Amino acid sequence: MIQVRNVSKSFGSTNVLNELSIDFDKGVTVIMGQSGAGKSTLLRCINGLEKIDGGDIVVDGLSINEKKNVREIREKCSMVFQQFNLFPHLNVLENVTLSPIHVLGIEKKKAQEKAMRFLEMVGLSEKIKSYPSQLSGGQQQRVAIARALIMEPSALLLDEITSALDPEMTSEVLEVIERIAREGTTMLVVTHEVSFARRVADRMVFLENGKVLADQNTEDFFSSNNERIMRFLQKIEFN
Ligand SMILES: Nc1ncnc2c1ncn2[C@@H]1O[C@H](COP(=O)(O)OP(=O)(O)O)[C@@H](O)[C@H]1O
Ligand SMILES: [Mg+2]
């Protein structure tokens, strides 16, 4: 579904992705790695938010190196960020229906009906008239998830979406993600939440210095005897 082939990406003299190759198929892949490993850059390149310097990324047969494909790829790979990035002047329903109406050209009433389904899924059907400033961080993040899901992407890209939240809100957001995962949504998830990863990941990827250091099924990863991975897991578990 997503093929990353020999992808390189530098910022100035910082070489962030190093001829990285990896394929993502159906299911949930959790990506871990030290801060600075290139996790966000990888997701941003897949989503077309960063231009790759070399190699190729192919999403559902579309190469990102063809300019005309970038918009479609971005729609296929919907991304959710740590900072929810909701529009403050739009209420919940308006935030979620904005892209379906303006990007997909769906009629307003249809878009609203569809939005209600996804807002229900994330447990926010009571909040449709609220503005982002009237919501908790966890609620705002769930709006952002509904906004990504309504585009019916081939894959959902989640980049540390709970790291700005307190523990209670973190678990409410992770519960929603778990529910969505169980419905068969393909996801690439960057997170440091170990117990969540153990529960939902079909596959674990560990990045280091812009390369794939490990790519394993979840059980094997968490019982890994790779020294780098063991040290990393110890460090985050004691945080
Ligand atoms: N827009 C940017 N400009 C310059 N350097 C960047 C930019 N984005 C990321 N970097 C650098 O690239 C490296 C990898 O960053 P990132 O992909 O955010 O890592 P991670 O998400 O794994 O913590 C870091 O050294 C970071 O400082
Ligand atoms: Mg990051």
* Domain edges within the chain: 2-237
Please give the structure tokens belonging to residue 157.
Answer: 């890209």
For residue 111 and ligand 1, the question of a CB distance below 6 A is answered with: no
Distance (angstroms) between ligand 1 centre and the Cα of 46 equals 15
Ligand nearest to the CA of 39: 1
Burial status of residue 149 (CB atoms within 10 A of its CB: 0-12, 13-18, 19 or more): buried
Ligand 1 pocket check: which of 8, 41, 159, 213 to mutate, most ligand atoms within 8 Å of Cβ?
41
pLDDT at 238: 67
Ligand nearest to the CA of 37: 1
Query: What would the two tokens of residue 75 be?
Result: 């729609």
Q: What is the side-by-side order of every strand in the sheet holding 14-24? A: 14-24, 2-11, 54-59, 62-63
- Render pLDDT for 158-189 as a digit per residue (tens, 0 to 9): 999 999 999 999 999 999 999 999 888 999 99
Helix (H, G, I), strand (E, B) or coil at 56: strand
pLDDT per position as a tens digit, 181-196: 988 899 999 999 999 9
Which bin fits 6, alpha (ψ -120 to 50), beta or left (φ > 0)?
left
Tell me the residues surrounding ligand 2 (ion) with CB < 5 Å. Answer: 39-40
Q: Residue 101 — very low, low, confident or very high, per pLDDT cuts 50/70/90? A: very high
**87 in contact with ligand 1, CB cutoff 6 A:** no
Chain mean pLDDT for the chain: 95
105: region left, alpha or beta (phi > 0 left; psi from -120 to 50 alpha):
left
CA gap 43, 188 in Å, rounded: 8
Please give the backbone phi and psi of residue 166, each rounded to the nearest 5 degrees, phi first. Answer: -75, 165
Q: How far apart are the first and last CA of the chain?
A: 35
List, edge to edge, every strand of the sheet that includes 203-208. Answer: 77-80, 155-159, 187-190, 28-32, 203-208, 211-217
pLDDT digits (tens, 9 = 90+) for 130-148: 999 999 999 999 999 999 9
User: Is the CB of 13 inside a 6 Å radius of any atom of ligand 1?
Assistant: no
CA of residue 87 to ligand 1 center, whole Å? 25
CB 36 near ligand 1, within 6 Å: yes
User: What's domain 2-237's architecture?
Assistant: 3-Layer(aba) Sandwich (3.40)
Which pLDDT score is estimated for 128?
Answer: 97
Choosing from 8, 9, 14 the residue with most ligand 1 atoms within 8 A of its CB, the one to mutate for a pocket test is 14
- Dihedral, CA of residue 218, residue 27, residue 149 and residue 212, to nearest 10: 60
Q: How far is the CA of 129 from the centre of ligand 2 (A)?
A: 32
Ordered alpha helix ranges (H), the chain:
39-46, 70-76, 92-102, 108-121, 137-149, 167-182, 194-200, 218-222, 227-237
